[in-house]
């Protein structure tokens, strides 16, 4: 037989372990070991100001004092405070004083007299004049009257409009029912109280209750006409 070739195994190669290049370590200062950052450190360092908890407590204390002082001032002087806040920008509209009828109409020359009507009825007649102190003509001007006795609650009440064409000269010729009907009428469409002008009013209490010693008057309504334009 032919001789068999002998195979020889190659000796294993041995290589050194790989070496990776590393950046040289930077020398650290003594302050770094105490918790202080180096000035030439490559990493960004937060340099914002820090405050202790006492700073926030002091700010809260001063804000609370300012809030309490403002609240006390508003409670002591509400009218003056509302006037000041009403002139502030953006929030002034929330503190503006509402326009009430008593700010547009004033009452003058108020008188009270007793009349004897048809049928022997006694009537307490209250008359006066209402002046328009606003800036535009007023069409509906309502006047309320109450008879006050010893208590707080009124004994009788009555409401009329200026311009209802009821006068004291007409009372002697009218019955109590006609007087009550005339008092409840509204003024004509052409009626208007111009600014700085006055109009008379008259109301009648037929058979007023006994014990009424005071009269309380108030302006309940002051409305301009539909076609009335505000004054310049």
More confident residue, 153 or 98: 153
124 and 65 belong to one structural domain: no
- What's 129's domain CATH number? 2.60.40
Tell me, yes or no, whether 195 and 110 share the same domain.
yes
User: Do 165 and 198 fall into the same domain?
Assistant: yes
Confidence at residue 90, expressed as pLDDT on a 0 to 100 scale = 73
Claim to verify: residue 112 and residue 164 sit in the same structural domain: yes
- Considering the domain architecture, whether residues 75 and 142 belong to the same structural domain is answered as no
Looking at the structure of the chain, the number of domains it has is 2
d(Cα 109, Cα 74) in Å, to the nearest integer? 37
Share of the chain above pLDDT 70, in %: 72
DSSP-derived 3-state class of residue 193:
strand
Q: Are residues 124 and 152 in the same domain?
A: yes
Residue range 201-228, pLDDT digits in tens: 999 998 888 888 889 999 988 888 765 4
Q: Is residue 24 part of a domain?
A: no
**Residues 91 and 106 both lie in one domain:** no
Q: Which of 154, 159, 123 is nearest to 144 (CA)?
A: 159
Tell me how many degrees the CA angle 167-168-170 measures, rounded to the nearest 5.
75
Cα 142 vs. chain centroid, distance in angstroms?
Answer: 26
Neighbours of 139 (CB within 10 A): 22
Show which of 95, 126, 145 is a domain's final residue. Answer: 95
Q: What is the pLDDT of residue 231?
A: 46
Cα dist from 63 to 56, 60, 150, whole Å: 11, 5, 51
User: Of 95, 116, 149, which residue sits at a domain end?
Assistant: 95
- Name the residue range of residue 143's domain: 101-223
CA neighbor of 116 nearest in space, from 164, 173, 73:
173
Residue 193 and residue 177 share a domain = yes
Q: Say which range, 95-99, 136-140, 167-171, 216-220, has the weakest mean pLDDT.
A: 95-99
């Amino acid at each position: 037989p032919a001789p068999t070739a002998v195979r020889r195994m190659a000796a294993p190669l041995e290589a050194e372990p790989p070496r990776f290049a590393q950046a040289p370590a930077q020398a650290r200062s003594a302050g770094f070991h105490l918790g202080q950052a180096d000035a030439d450190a490559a990493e960004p360092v937060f340099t914002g100001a820090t405050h202790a908890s006492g700073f926030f407590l002091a700010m809260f204390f001063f804000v609370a004092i300012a809030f309490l002082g403002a609240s006390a001032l508003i409670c002591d002087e509400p009218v003056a405070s509302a006037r000041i806040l009403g002139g502030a920008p953006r929030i002034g509209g929330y503190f503006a004083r509402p326009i009430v009828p008593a700010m547009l109409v004033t009452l003058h020359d108020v008188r009270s007299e007793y009349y004897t009507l048809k049928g022997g009825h006694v009537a307490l007649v209250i008359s006066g004049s209402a002046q328009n102190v606003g800036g535009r003509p007023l069409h509906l001007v309502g006047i309320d009257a109450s008879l006050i006795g010893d208590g707080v609650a009124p004994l009788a009440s009555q409401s009329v409009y200026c311009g209802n064409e009821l006068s004291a000269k007409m009372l002697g010729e009218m019955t109590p029912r006609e007087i009550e009907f005339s008092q409840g009428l509204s003024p004509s469409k052409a009626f208007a109280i111009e600014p700085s002008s006055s109009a008379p009013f008259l109301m009648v209490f037929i058979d007023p209750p006994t014990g009424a010693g005071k009269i309380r008057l108030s302006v309940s309504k002051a409305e301009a006409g539909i076609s009335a334009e505000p004054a310049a």
